[in-house]
Amino acid sequence: MPTLTALLGLLRSALADRQRLLLENTALRHQVAVLKRSVSRPRLDDTDRIFWVALRRLLREWKDWLLFVRPETVLKWHRRGFAYYWARKSKTPRRGRPSIGWPLVALIKRLSVENILWSAGRIADELAKLGHQVSEATVEKYRVHHRDPKRGQRWTTFLRNHLSVTAACDFFVVPTLTFKLLYGFLVLGHDRRRILHVAVTAHSTAEWTAQQFREAFPGDGTEPRFLLRDNDAIYGETFEECVRHMGLEQLQTAYRSPWQNAYVERAIGTIRRECLDHILPLCERHLLRTLTSLAAVARLAAPTLQPPSLTRPPPANSAQREFWGATIVGRLHAQHSKPRSLRARSGRASRSGRTARSRQGCSRANGRSRRRHQWYSS
C-alpha cells in the first residue's frame, strides 16, 4: 500500500509545476526529519524492500534520497533476494521413499493393536498377503509399540486387577470442645473408594479394633482378600488373630510412609476438609453421628446409586421446580433430586436418546465394517 501511494504521487508530480514541486518537496522533507527523530527504527515490509532495490537500479542518486534506512541495508536486501532467487531455481526435487498413504498407515496401526505379539516383520508379511508391499522399516515406523509381554505386566495393572479384593483401614485423631482426643477408625474399599465402616472411641484397644472389623465384614461373603494398614501398635495380637481367622492377608506399609496407603489417607483428608474443620465435636456420640451421616452421603453420592427420597415439598416458583433438595450433615451439604413427574419425563427422554444413539452406533459400526472390508480386500 505505501508503494502504490508513492507511485501515485510520482504521477501527480509529473503534471505539477516546478514551484509547487519545490514547496511539496520541502514539506515532505520536514515531515521525514520529524519522523526520523521520533521513530528510531521504522517497520518495512517486503514491498518496500523491492521498491528500493528496483529504484537502486534506475537512479544513480538513490543514496541521496534514502533517509529512513542506510544504503548498506538496501545492499543487504539485494544480496538476500539474489540468494533466495538462486536457491529456489536450483532446488532439487524431493528424494526418498514415496508416501504409503494414510489408509495403509491406519491398517498398520490396527494390525499392531489387535495383535500385540506380532513383530514388524510379521505385520509386513501379513500386509504382503493382502497385496501391500511395505518394508519392515516402514512398518516399524508406523506401528503402535507395546510393552514386551515377556517382561510381565506393570505394577499399575497388577494393583488395578486386585482393587476389588483389597481394603484399607486407618485411625485419625479428632479434638473435642473440651480439649479431649477421640479416635476415629475408617475402613475403605479400594474397588470404588467407598467407606465401608466408620467408628469412634475415646480408648482405642486391639479388642475394640477387632470388633469394629468384624462389624465391617460380618461374614456375608463381602470380605476382601487383602488388608492394607500401617504399623500402628494398636493392631495387636487380637486384631491379627481376627484378621487371620477371617482369611485375610495383611499388607503393612513402611514406617513413616503414609503415601503407601494413599486411598484411605485421601478419604481422611476429605472428611477433615468437608466436615471436621467446620464443627466442634461435643462428645463421642456427636462425632459418631456426624461421621455416620457423612459416610451415608458418600455412599449415596456415587453416580450408579439413586438419591434418597426427600420429603421436602418443591418450591412454588416454576423456575426452581425442576430441582429441589434437603440439607444434610448439619447443613454442611445438600442432596438434590427431581420431582417424580420430571424424573419420569427425563426417563422417557433418556430412553429415546439411547434409542437414537444405538441407531447411530449401528450405522457407525456398519461403516467401520465396510471400511475394514475395503482395507483388507484392497
Q: Are residues 235 and 290 in the same domain?
A: yes
Query: How many CB atoms are located within 10 Å of the residue 191 CB?
Result: 12
In DSSP terms, 194 is beta-bridged to: 189
What is the count of structural domains for the chain?
4
Q: Are residues 81 and 36 in the same domain?
A: yes
* pLDDT tens digits, one per residue of 24-74: 777 767 667 766 666 666 677 777 777 767 777 776 666 666 656 677 777
Q: Are residues 82 and 108 in the same domain?
A: no
Cell of 176: 473435642
Residue range of the domain that includes 349: 321-367
Amino acid at site 257? S
Quote the pTM value: 0.48
Question: What residues contact residue 200 under an 8 Å CB cut-off, 6+ apart?
Answer: 174, 182, 183, 184, 185, 284, 287, 288, 291
Give domain status of residue 140, yes or no. yes
User: Contact, 227 vs 243, CB < 8 A?
Assistant: yes
Closest CA to 377 of 134, 103, 130, 132: 130
Give domain status of residue 97, yes or no. no
Compute the distance between CA of residue 19 and CA of residue 23 in angstroms, rounded to an integer: 6
Q: Are residues 12 and 66 in the same domain?
A: yes
Q: Provide the 3-class DSSP secondary structure of residue 354.
A: helix
Task: State the pairing for strand pair 324-328/333-337.
Answer: antiparallel
User: Contact, 64 vs 56, CB < 8 A?
Assistant: no
Final residue before a domain boundary, out of 151, 168, 186: 151
Compute the distance between CA of residue 120 and CA of residue 137 in angstroms, rounded to an integer: 8
Q: Are residues 165 and 290 in the same domain?
A: yes
**pLDDT band at 372; cut points 50, 70, 90:** very low
* pLDDT tens digits, one per residue of 277-321: 999 999 999 999 999 998 888 765 554 344 444 334 444 444 444
Q: Are residues 17 and 106 in the same domain?
A: no
Q: Are residues 255 and 165 in the same domain?
A: yes
